[in-house]
Structure 1
Amino acid sequence: MITNAGGTLAKRKSARVRRDEARRTAERFAPEAGGWDVVLETEDEAEFRAHLHRLRSSEPRLDESSLRVDTFCGRGEQPTVRRLSRFVPHPADQ
């Protein structure tokens, strides 16, 4: 049954678009395509936010999908640490 009254077609298309985007992202950031370089690692959230702001300001065409933020949650005496990494593609073979 093909109907759009309940949004069935739109839901299928939306799911397909999400799957395709996830596949392209996985291929783009696959280990054989490059690696993640740590740009900053800090316990200070203000320092982290300031660095990210400077990065965005200095590179107006920054592809934010090539950035990764890892938060290592502290417990007890262990502090919370934030790490900013940037994907660096392997150089093309010549």
Structure 2
Amino acid sequence: MPGQGKRRRQRSELRERAAAAWAAEAERPGHWEVVFETRDESDWSNQLPTRIRRLRAERGVTDERLIRVDVLCGRTVQPTTYRLSLFVPADAVPPSAEAPPHP
């Protein structure tokens, strides 16, 4: 088919660029800070949009790659856990250090 090779190359290049971008992010020092965690599915689905809006407003998160949503699948012994995390770079100033102490 005409153009199939071009489409295949474009998709391959797109995958390679995405993989390179994620590899660069993975090498960045920092850690994931758990912002919200629950075992109640209805609580999770009700609060998730609000929590993400709050992260964007209060902490100025504009890059969606800094927000991670985990669903840790449970079994009969351990229930399913829902977790919202935020990536904190190693060079970030802790929130307590941003505000000067009040006299």
Number of residue pairs matched?
A: 88
Query: Identity percentage over the alignment?
Result: 36
More helix by share: 2
Q: Aligned partners of 2:15 and 2:67: how far apart in 1?
A: 20
Going from structure 1 to structure 2, the CA distance change for 1:83 and 1:66 (only over 3 Å counts) comes to: same
- Quick check: 19-28 or 62-71, which moved more? 62-71
Corresponding position of 2:41: 45
2:18 paired residue among 4, 17, 21: 21
Structure 1, gaps ≥5 residues long: none
Q: 1:83 to 1:57 in 2, by over 3 A?
A: closer
Please say if residues 48 and 82 of structure 1, whose CA atoms lie closer than 8 Å, have aligned partners that are also in contact: yes
Tell me the distance in 1 between the aligned counterparts of 2:26 and 2:45. 24
Compared CA separation, residues 51 and 26, structure 1 to 2 (3 A): farther
Paired with 2:16 and 2:62, the residues of 1 have a C-alpha distance of 24
For residues 52 and 88 of structure 1, what CA distance do their matches in structure 2 show? Answer: 19
Query: Which SS does the other structure have where 2:8 is aligned?
Result: helix
SS of aligned partner of 1:86: strand
- The answer to whether residue 68 in structure 2 is matched with residue 68 in structure 1 is yes
Distance 2:51 2:38 in 1: 16
The yes-or-no answer on 1:12 pairing with 2:9 is: yes
One-letter identity of the residue aligned with 1:82: Y
TM-score by length of 2: 0.68
Give the match's secondary structure for 2:18: helix
In 2, the alpha carbon distance for the partners of 1:12 and 1:34 equals 34
